[in-house]
Chain A
Amino acid sequence: MSYYTPLEKILEKLKTIGYYVLLIILLVVFVFPFAWYILNSFKTTEEANALPPTLLIKYPTFQSWINVLTGHTVIKLPTPWSRWIINGLVVSLITAFYVTFATSLACYSLTRLKPFGGAFILMLIMASILLPGPAILIPVYSIVTSLHLLNNPMALILLYPILVLPLTVWITISTFAAIPSEIEEAALVDGSSRIRTFFTIILPSLKMSLITMFVISFLIAWGEYPFAYVLLRTHEAYTPAIGLATYLLEFNIFWEEVSVSAVLVTIPVFILFILLRKHIIKQIFYGVVR
Chain B
Amino acid sequence: MAIEDPVFLLAFKNSLLFTFIGTTLTIIISLMSAIIITSRESSLGIWVSILMLLTWVTPEVVTAITWNWMLNSQYGIINWIAIWMGLLNKGIPWLGHPIYAPPVIIFLIMWRLIPFLLLLFIAGILSIPSEYLEAAKVDGLKFWYKFRYILLPALRYPIIIAYILIFVWYMNDLTMIMATTGGGPFHLTETLASLIYKTGFNYFKFNIAAAMSIIQFLILLVITTLFLYSFKKYWWVFKK
Contacts and interface: CB of A to CB of B under 8 A. Distances in A.
B197 A137 contact: yes
Interface string B61-79: 1110111011000110100
A136 B124 CA distance: 33
Interface stretch (B1-9, B93-101, B145-153, B232-240): B232-240
Interface residues of A, number: 71
B25 interface: no
B237 A111 contact: yes
Nearest to A269: B57
Nearest to A245: B61
Nearest to B112: A30
A258 B213 CA distance: 34
Contacts of B119: 281, 284-285
A226 interface: yes
Interface in A238-290: 240-242, 244-245, 248, 255, 258, 262, 265-266, 269-270, 273, 277, 281, 284-285, 288-289
Contact of A132 (B172, B224, B228): B172
Interface in B72-95: 74-75, 77, 80, 83-84
A51 interface: yes
B239 to A, nearest CB: 9
A223 B213 contact: no
B54 A134 contact: no
What's the interface size class on B, roughly?
A: 35 or more
A176 to B, nearest CB: 9
B39 interface: yes
B48 interface: yes
A126 B235 CA distance: 12
Main secondary structure, interface of B, reads helix
A259 to B, nearest CB: 9
A62 interface: no
A23 B172 contact: no
Interface in B117-140: 119-120, 123-124, 127
Nearest to B230: A126
Given A53-B77, A132-B172, A289-B124, A126 B209 contact: no
Interface of A: 15, 18-19, 22-23, 26-27, 29-31, 33-34, 36-37, 49, 51-53, 55, 110-111, 114, 118-119, 122-123, 126-127, 129-139, 141-142, 173-174, 177, 219, 222-226, 230, 240-242, 244-245, 248, 255, 258, 262, 265-266, 269-270, 273, 277, 281, 284-285, 288-289
7 contacts: A19-B37, A33-B55, A34-B54, A122-B237, A138-B210, A225-B175, A241-B59
What 3 A-B pairs are tightest by C-beta distance, nearest first?
A223-B59, A133-B172, A285-B123
